[in-house]
Structure 1
Amino acid sequence: MTAFSMHFSKRNTFERLLRRLCLMLLICAGVPLHAQAAAELSQFDVERTSEELTLTAQLQFELSPPVEDALLKGIPVYFRVEAEVLKERWYWYDKSLASVTRQYKLAFQPLTRRWRLSVGTGSGSSAGQGLALSQTYDSLPVAIAAIKRIVKWRIAGPGELDPAGRYRFDFRFMLDVSQLPRPFQIGVLGQSDWDISVNRTVPVGPEAPK
């Protein structure tokens, strides 16, 4: 009986160690342990006129509990939007004709119990480095609604595009974990709760005849 008990105990210990090892391997491999926080586009309109090319879009996504918990603990969360117009070239890399970015910084203010949203715009990778506009909101859903809605965002101006040319329009939206505090970045690496992103590519035809 004693020999059987020792054998049973050793087997249980081995199984527990095996389960822990499997869990560690899943974490290291970046296998999501929570439901993925995906994003979608319910509206996506690229409008081209003789004066400019603009984008109007409506994003759909929900913040996961870990993201909301980080916000409530005073950790700002950043979202980034990128839009680019490219000319496709069969003989070389596609040529970028216009590129703009927009960065949202969302932060909770414990003293006032309000949400502060700062928006920085720029070209290329310069979003957030220049002038940023800020606004406060009474609730998180209202602040997130402001991030989800893009209205008449100017992507290219006069002279940047050939009126008769055809182009490719690339769009990307994401929760930018690279802006989180360094120790926090390590903790969220590979966790799908922080993977909020969506991409869209559409053709852009020539200007409509007047």
Structure 2
Amino acid sequence: MLLISDVHLGKVAHFRKFGAAVPQKAIHKNFILLDEIVHHFQPFQVCFLGDLFHSSLNKEWQLFENWVSKTPSEIVLVAGNHDIIAPEKFEVLDIEIIQELEIDGFLLSHHPMERKGFFNFCGHIHPAVRLHGSGRQRLKLPCFFKKPSQLILPAFGEFTGTFALEPSKMDEVFVLVEDQVVKI
């Protein structure tokens, strides 16, 4: 199973509709990356951990329909707070929408949750961490943010933004740098 969180498809088109100068290329970048990751891992199932789409139906839905038609994996959507497109649209594509999923001691959800006996995989927050260098350099990098019983996945979408989290001594942080995941 491939877990992907916070793609926010349709966000670029949504912002362009209201006059924001967002490059049209950003729309296709998400689909190119989805193709690459599914081809690389060849999962039986792709589970989107919420916020697959950013808002209501727009032109990116047709691109998504095309992507689904050529994707061999079964697709499941754990509903997020931005997933407001009618469930019937997903049903036509054989995509199941659920609120959460419990599998062998793992809890898959959109919002971070704690449940006794479960390790939670989630999204929603778009986690990042701030790094400071000795010469006043500063970086804010998206990350996988691991707590003792939870892993918050970074936003997958190209145009999503991030929220900096402060790790405690119990937390582990894995930043995304170019094409690598690096533990810091």
Report the TM-score when normalising by structure 2: 0.23
* Structure with more of its chain in strand, by fraction: 1
Query: Could you say which structure has the greater relative contact order, defined with CA pairs below 8 angstroms and 6 or more residues apart?
Result: 1
Larger Rg: 1
* Structure with more of its chain in helix, by fraction: 1
